[in-house]
Amino acid sequence: MIEVDEALRLIEAAAVPLPPRRQRLLDACGFALAEPVVSDVDSPPWDRAMMDGFAVRGGDVAAAAGGVVELDVVVDLAAGDVTTIVVGSGGCARIMTGAPLPAGADAVIPVECALDGTAATHAGGRVRLRDERFRPGQHVARRGTAFQAGAEVLASGTVLGAAEIGLAAEAGATHVVAACRPRVAILSTGSELVPPAATPAFGQTRNSNGPMLAAAVRLLGAEPIPLGLVADRPEALRAAVAQGLAADVLLLSGGVSAGDLDLVPGVLALCGVEQVFHKVRHKPGKPLWFGVYRRAAAPGTLVFGLPGNPASSLVCFDLFARPALGILGGKPRDAWHLPRARARLTAPAKAAADRPVYLPCRLAGPPDALEATPLPWTGSSDLRGFAGANGYVALPANGKVHEAGTEVDVVLRP
């Protein structure tokens, strides 16, 4: 049995960033570019009207010196319309936001500035306009002022959030070269397990770990590959593990403790997965197993044998699998570590005598005055206490009751 920090160190030593991959833009959401995005167009691509109104020649308006200008509407332009008509002196275009400015025009007067009921004037009519705050070039986004064709709009290393994805799309990048979302196979082991849709018969247990782990993986932006259930039979388990080893990470749950049918470590060994450690001194989740499946040419598969009890599985995922997924996904080494902080207990919390314990809690208050309320929790098979938990109270192995008001270590869960 090893300590939590040692387990983390071994996991971090085994985890290597996946090679960047050319992928669909949206698949790279949340991950860093490995090559810059270069635009194939100017932005705006042409002089674009930014208001609904009338496209005018600034000279005509200047000549009116703040007074009323009366102009002939020579063309109607909605977004998407183009014209070869040139706006000459004394003319204007009725124009909607997003339309290209016609040749000759260089500013837009908002429709609200039309006088004497002329706001609805279309091509062929005359409009009377007064814009007391008129500035040359107003309400026009000029071609190429945001960026120009050939410009690097996103540097290598940029993490793709919503704005960056939008910008890349505007720049014509349907695919990007970026760090990849780790693909995470999830396999629930146990002959007693039935799918969530089934009503469990006496002795059966619903597979809650499968959906829970898939959700945890998805929330990180990695890609869950649910492999479903497998019974505690070596041959069946071996076939399912072989399938899971095609992924970047294999998360198994169940079958890693000391029972007669805890077959997972043995089957993993038969499948060629090298054990790195088995059992960590913490609670819940002591039976955690970790190993690596190495391949000649490609990166290996990290294999986590998580305990079957759902709360133990979740804590092990949070503490150990999460940071590994971050490293695989090309994140800074501790990016996906759950952050730690100090908080004041609002109710007593009891430490275990033999191992550090992680108790589900509700954290509230400002970062410098956090309060931790332990949630009612009956033990490692009980997920109810974890629903709504946004942290763990992390207590050292001293068997003490930590009274309300004492300051303790906490782990923040997003």
The position carrying tokens 């995470």 is 184
The span of 28-36, 86-94, 308-316, 345-353 binding ligand AMP (CB under 6 A) equals 308-316
How far apart, in whole angstroms, are the C-alpha atoms of residue 251 and residue 226? 10
Q: What residue 121 binds from Mg ion, ligand AMP, none (CB within 5 to 8 A, per partner kind)? A: none
* Residue 404, token pair as written in the block: 């309300």
Please report, as residue ranges, which positions from 175 to 194 form the binding site for Mg ion (by CB under 5 A).
190
Determine the Cα angle at 204 with ends 200 and 206, to 5°: 65
The minimum distance between CB 380 and Mg ion, in angstroms, equals 13
Instruction: For residue 20, give the 3-state DSSP assignment.
Output: coil
Window contacting ligand AMP (CB under 6 A); options: 27-35, 158-166, 301-309, 399-407: 301-309
Report the C-alpha gap between 98 and 133 in whole angstroms.
22
- Binding segment for ligand AMP (CB under 6 A), chosen from 25-33, 90-98, 302-310, 404-412, is 302-310
Q: Is 378 helix (H, G, I), strand (E, B) or coil?
A: coil
Q: Where are the alpha helices (DSSP H) in 254-347?
A: 264-270, 310-316, 322-328
Residue 330 within binding range of ligand AMP, rule CB under 6 A = no
> Interacting stretch for ligand AMP, rule CB under 6 A, among 81-89, 186-194, 219-227, 330-338?
186-194
Q: Structure tokens of 14?
A: 């085994």
Closest CB to ligand AMP among residues 262, 318: 262
* Strand order, beta sheet including 91-95: 107-110, 53-56, 91-95, 69-77, 126-129
Query: Which range binds ligand AMP by CB under 6 A, 66-74, 216-224, 304-312, 366-374?
Result: 304-312
Please, which residue, 157 or 259, has the CB nearer to ligand AMP? Answer: 259
Q: Which of 43, 121, 138, 188 binds ligand AMP (CB under 6 A)?
A: 188
Are 38 and 153 a contacting pair, CB within 8 Å? yes
CA–CA gap between residue 13 and residue 362 (Å, rounded): 32
Query: What Rg do the C-alpha atoms of the chain give, in angstroms?
Result: 31
Cα–Cα dist 332/345, whole Å: 32
Closest of 113, 58, 59, 122 to residue 94, by C-alpha: 122
Site string for ligand AMP, 238-257 (x = CB under 6 A): ---------------xxxxx
Q: Is there binding between residue 210 and Mg ion (CB under 5 A)? A: no
CB of 2 to Mg ion, least distance (A): 23
Least CB distance to ligand AMP at residue 380 (A): 8
Give the count of residues interacting with Mg ion (CB under 5 A). 4
Binding string to ligand AMP for residues 366 to 405, with x set by CB under 6 A, is what? ---------------x------------------------
Cβ atoms of residues 293 and 15 within 8 Å = no
Per-residue interface string for the shown chain with ligand AMP, residues 253-292, x marking contact by CB under 6 A:
xxxxx-x--x------------------------------
Could you say which of 83, 97, 208, 346 contacts ligand AMP (CB under 6 A)?
208
If the CB atoms of residues 17 and 284 are measured against ligand AMP, the closer one turns out to be 284
Which residues have C-beta within 8 Å of that of residue 39, sequence separation ≥ 6?
147, 148, 149, 150, 151, 153, 170, 171, 172
Does residue number 307 form part of the binding site for Mg ion (CB under 5 A)? no
Question: Which positions lie near ligand AMP, rule CB under 6 A?
Answer: 188, 190, 192-193, 205, 207-210, 253-257, 259, 262, 307-310, 381
Question: Which positions lie near Mg ion, rule CB under 5 A?
Answer: 190, 254-255, 308
